[in-house]
Every structure is written in C-alpha cells, then in structure tokens.
Structure 1
Amino acid sequence: MRAVLGIDTADRTAGVAVVVEGALACEVVVATGPRQSRRLTALIEEALAEAGVRRDELAAVAVTAGPGGFTGVRVGVAAAKGLALALGIPVVGVSTLEALAGRMGPWPGVVAPVLDAKKRQVYAGAWDGLTGEPLVPPAAWDPGAFARAVADLGRPAVFLGGGVTPYREVFREALGERYHEAPPEHGTVPPGRVALLGWARWQRGEAVPPETLVPTYLRRSEAEEREAGRRGS
C-alpha cells in the first residue's frame, strides 16, 4: 500500500488528508489558532490513524506552498519538509489557489479562487472549470486588474475564497451577468484536494527532494518590505 499525506495551513484553516492508492481515505480540518505547529503535528497523527496508514507507508508529502498567510505557509512547508526528511521521501508543493479551485469540482466556465493579500491586493488566478487548464496566472493582483483579466476571457466565472467579499462589487461590475459566486463553504482550501494533487504529481514523477521545496509567497513580507525600504530598493 502506498499513500500520500496532504497538508494545508496557508489560509484560514489547518487541514491534513491522506490519499491511499489514489483514493481519499480521510480528511481532518480545524480553524487555525495559536501553537499551530503543535496542532499540526497532532492533526497528522490523527489523520494517519484514521486512514489506517503507517508513516513508512507514505510515498510523499504534499503541501500548499503558497500563496497565503506568511506564517501559515511557513509552518506547513516546514512540517512537510521535516516529515519527508525524517522518512526519506519526496515532497510535492501545491498552489493554494489551484487547490482552492478544486472546491468547485467540474464547473462549466472559469473558476477564480481569490485570497485576501491585504494592502488592497488579492492573491488570485483562474482555471478552466472542466479541464483544469490555467487561464490567468496566479499572482498578487490589484482587484480591478484581476477582474478585468477574468472578464477578458469572455466566459462565465465563479469566484470563491476569502478574498471575494471585500471586492465583490469590483468583480461584479467587471463581469456583469457572467459573475457567479460560490457559497461560503467553498471558501476554504480542502486538504483532500492537496493530497489528491500530490498523489497525481508523485505518480508522474514530479515530487522533489524536501530540501529543494521553497514557499511561493508571490509578494515580499512586511519585514522584507521594510528592509527593502531602508536599503532603497
């Protein structure tokens, strides 16, 4: 038996899932909070026990590598790398936005996951809801610019994620009748999707050594911006 563990701590929830031989075996999700690293360790043990999977049966660890909250992404990536190094197995970095897009399942149009990046920006991208083809590249966007990029596709689009509400009217104005909004329960990243994407990429030989995985922040942190400001760059 071979299994892949999926980890997500990039946004508003922390979750762990296990895929066994290509099928989702279990999924555990909790709200994020203090001592996230300790809670994540407990979640991993809980998920493995529920799935009936031993650590030595894991073939790879998948994790949302960003974008998202800087602390959350860092915690998840560190946990995935640490576990994979200890077990001598590879890792798979998964886009938070791509995993969130999977919430919709097959959808006849454009799926546009949006996370609030603060500072009047959103982390966002767009995928074809049926084929999964990337249509608008994931980036830290001005909300209006992202809305226009999706509108230019000329197709119905469903927006989902925690970054939709603050800019709903911006998106609605740009797309008009082609604007759709997913229900709130579709607004968080499903760790099961992370694990399934990880399984598929491990099967294709796309997993990498854990020491090579780096977070995909898409933007400098506030500390990095302050340092850049002091240096004049």
Structure 2
Amino acid sequence: MILAIDSSGLNLGLALVDDGVCWSSQLLKPGLKHGEVLQTAIADFLEKSQVEFRRLTAIGITLGPGSFTGLRIGMAAAKAYSYSLNIPLTGISTLESGAFGIGGSAKPVVVLFDAKRNEIYWAVFDCSGDTPSRLTPDMVSPAERLEEFARGGCIFFGPRSLGEAFRRDFSVADYRDNDDFNLAIPEAIRGEIDARRNMYLERDELVPIYLRN
C-alpha cells in the first residue's frame, strides 16, 4: 500500500492506494500552512483509514513545480517516512498528476497552475488513453505563451482564479477548474506502478522541481 502526499499548492492532498484501488483519500485546504498541519493530518488520515504505518510499502510525492515552501515541506516529510519505515520513494510531476483529472479527451489538455510573478506553470498532454502522454515538458512562462494552445482548441485545466482571465484574454472555450482535484490520488496510482517496476527515486539526491533558478 502506498501513501501519497501532495503539498505543491494551496491544497494538501493525501491518498492510499493498494493494488491499483484508491483505499482512502482526503483533500484539505490549509493554504500555505502545510508545515503546521502536515504531520498531524497524515497521522489522523491513517487512523481514520484504519491503516498503520507498518502496512505502507512505498511513499509517493508530487515533485513540482509548485509552491517552493510547500514542495520542500512535503518532500522532507516523504523522505523522513521513507527512511524511517525503510520503504521506497516514488514521485510524479505536479502537472502530470493534474493531467489525470481529464480522462478520455480527444483534444489536447493544458494543465496549469499559478506560478505567481505574472507567470504560469504549464504542460500539454494527450489524455485520450488510460494514462496521460506528454506533448510538452513542464514549463514556466507568462500566460501569453499559452495563447497558441487556446487557438488550437485545447482543454484548459487550471485554478478557478485564472479561469476568467483565460476566457476573456485568450477566448478559451473549455476551461475547467482543478481547485478540488486531489493530485495525490493519481500520484499514488502511478507511484504504485513505478514501485512494482523498481522505478524508485534516490532519496539523497531528490530535490523539488522548481523550473526557476
């Protein structure tokens, strides 16, 4: 059973997956106070799910991009659990995890998050199959860089706070909010697959993906 943690943004997502099935999940909204609530939230989540730490076989974490502080806090916790329980660590891009929120789409999907400083974290995926396939790497840029994808009829999957601007400025016809999508669920499902394939992350070398120097 894998425990996945997402603290890359304003949400705190947790999920337990066993044999491809989501056993339990929780989406909290602590804002940027992950450091104050993370340890207690995980302990409470496992207790409510009736799962003891010793049952865990891997830890999953969103690698970024996202909030600098949130990513560091989540990754530090994931590493600590991995070391203390002597279980492997898996991870997935925040944007790739988000792409799981739009399944069976015939159109390319632009997954995006607010990067602040008038910029956007984004990547484009083919979501027509069972799992998303990348069409671009993870990027950070001004929102104007995405205008070409709006003209191309892509689906946009991003925070509610950016939806109005994208619809107004770039005539995005299909903008879907991802504020309530728990990134930890696909992260856990993908992480369990990676763990079975022995595709683990090197804990000592692991750092968040910031996309900025």
Q: Which amino acid aligns with 1:141?
A: S
Can you list the C-alpha shifts for 1:169-188, whole angstroms capped at 9, x where unaligned? 3432xx6xxx4111x3x334
Match of 1:114 in 2: 112
Distance (Å, rounded) in 1 between the aligned partners of 2:212 and 2:202: 24
Q: Which structure features the higher share of helix residues?
A: 1
Match of 2:187 in 1: 194
Match of 2:81 in 1: 83
Provide the alpha-carbon RMSD of the alignment: 2.0
Does 2:198 align with 1:205? yes
CA contact (8 A) 1:120 1:143 kept: yes
Can you list the C-alpha shifts for 1:12-65, whole angstroms capped at 9, x where unaligned? 201111001221001111112465224111221223223332212211111111
2:157 to 155, 160, 181: 160
Distance (Å, rounded) in 2 between the aligned partners of 1:100 and 1:219: 20
Q: Which ranges in structure 2 are unaligned for 5 or more consecutive residues?
A: none
Does 2:179 align with 1:180? no
Match of 1:143 in 2: 143
Compared CA separation, residues 61 and 23, structure 1 to 2 (3 A): same
Match of 1:26 in 2: 24
The structure with the larger Rg is 1
Distance (Å, rounded) in 1 between the aligned partners of 2:170 and 2:60: 32
Match of 1:44 in 2: 42
TM-superposed CA distance for 1:120, in Å, is 1.7
Moved more, 52-61 or 91-100: 52-61
TM-superposed CA distance for 1:115, in Å, is 0.7
The alignment covers a number of residue pairs equal to 208
Can you list the C-alpha shifts for 1:128-153, whole angstroms capped at 9, x where unaligned? 111311012211022122332x358x
TM-superposed CA distance for 1:189, in Å, is 4.3
CA contact (8 A) 2:32 2:70 kept: no
Distance (Å, rounded) in 1 between the aligned partners of 2:142 and 2:85: 41
Distance (Å, rounded) in 2 between the aligned partners of 1:129 and 1:25: 24
TM-superposed CA distance for 1:219, in Å, is 1.1
Match of 1:227 in 2: none
Moved more, 61-70 or 160-169: 160-169
Q: Which amino acid aligns with 2:185?
A: G
Can you list the C-alpha shifts for 1:100-150, whole angstroms capped at 9, x where unaligned? 1111222221111111111221000011111311012211022122332x3
User: Secondary structure of the residue that 2:136 maps to in structure 1?
Assistant: strand
Distance (Å, rounded) in 2 between the aligned partners of 1:44 and 1:201: 22
CA contact (8 A) 2:110 2:123 kept: yes
CA contact (8 A) 1:91 1:213 kept: no
Structure 1 stretches (4+) deviating beyond 6 angstroms?
none
User: Secondary structure of the residue that 2:57 maps to in structure 1?
Assistant: strand
Q: Which ranges in structure 1 are unaligned for 5 or more consecutive residues?
A: 221-233
Match of 2:72 in 1: 74
User: Secondary structure of the residue that 1:47 maps to in structure 2?
Assistant: helix
